[in-house]
Amino acid sequence: MEFRKAVSSDLERLFQIDTIVPSDPTRSEYITTAVASNDIWVCLRDHKIVGYAVLNHSLFNRPTVDMLMIAVEHRKSGIGTEFMKHLEKLNDRDELWTSTNLSNSPMQRLLACLDYKLTGYVDNLDPGDPELIFFKKLRKA
Ligand SMILES: CC(C)(COP(=O)(O)OP(=O)(O)OC[C@H]1O[C@@H](n2cnc3c(N)ncnc32)[C@H](O)[C@@H]1OP(=O)(O)O)[C@@H](O)C(=O)NCCC(=O)NCCS
């Protein structure tokens, strides 16, 4: 597994693996803007992009994993977990934040396995599905 920053020639593949793109036109704009801002990391297996992550400061100006997306056919093989571990090594503070919907059990299990702590929630973003905020204190080498 390899990780590198995304470049504009990756956009087509990123749109392909993101399951929200077909139903939400703002999603491709979000991805395009994040690539232009140099905020997207991609994970490659056998030289093919199998997932992407947006690392920025969108939550409280703290290091934040704003999105983690693994291609459907590559889920449940440890890529999401390895991707989070990679992002933990990169950030500029000894902490990492992220969030996910209450309905998203796969992401919550992944975060629990990596010792992320539930830190609060925000109502009224997605109707009936609060956004849970997670935090991890990192030990820097
Ligand atoms: C949530 C998400 C990122 C998880 O990614 P993933 O690569 O499937 O995560 P992992 O493979 O590391 O772990 C998921 C499961 O696979 C299991 N797993 C890990 N390695 C495995 C392996 N080699 N063989 C079998 N199972 C394995 C894990 O134990 C875990 O099991 P669990 O769900 O029963 O707890 C992915 O489902 C996804 O992209 N979802 C859509 C986008 C999204 O919701 N993102 C989060 C909000 S930003």
Model pTM score: 0.95
Task: Indicate the pLDDT class of residue 140, thresholds 50, 70 and 90.
Answer: low
3-class SS letters over 86-120:
HHHHHCCCCEEEEEEECCCHHHHHHHHHCCCEEEE
Cα 41 to middle of ligand 1, angstroms: 17
For residue 60, pLDDT over 70 is answered with yes
Q: Does 69 contact ligand 1 (Cβ within 6 A)?
A: yes
Domains in the chain with CATH codes: 2-137 (3.40.630.30)
Q: Does 80 contact ligand 1 (Cβ within 6 A)?
A: yes
Residue 139: alpha-carbon gap to chain centroid: 20
Average pLDDT across the chain, whole number: 96
For residue 91, pLDDT over 90 is answered with no
Q: Does 106 contact ligand 1 (Cβ within 6 A)?
A: yes
φ/ψ region of 30 (left if φ > 0, alpha if ψ in -120 to 50, else beta) reads alpha
State the CB neighbour count (10 A cutoff) for residue 102: 13
pLDDT of residue 141: 55
Q: Does 105 contact ligand 1 (Cβ within 6 A)?
A: no
For residue 93, pLDDT over 90 is answered with no
Six token digits for residue 80: 């999401």
How many percent of the chain have pLDDT more than 70?
Answer: 97
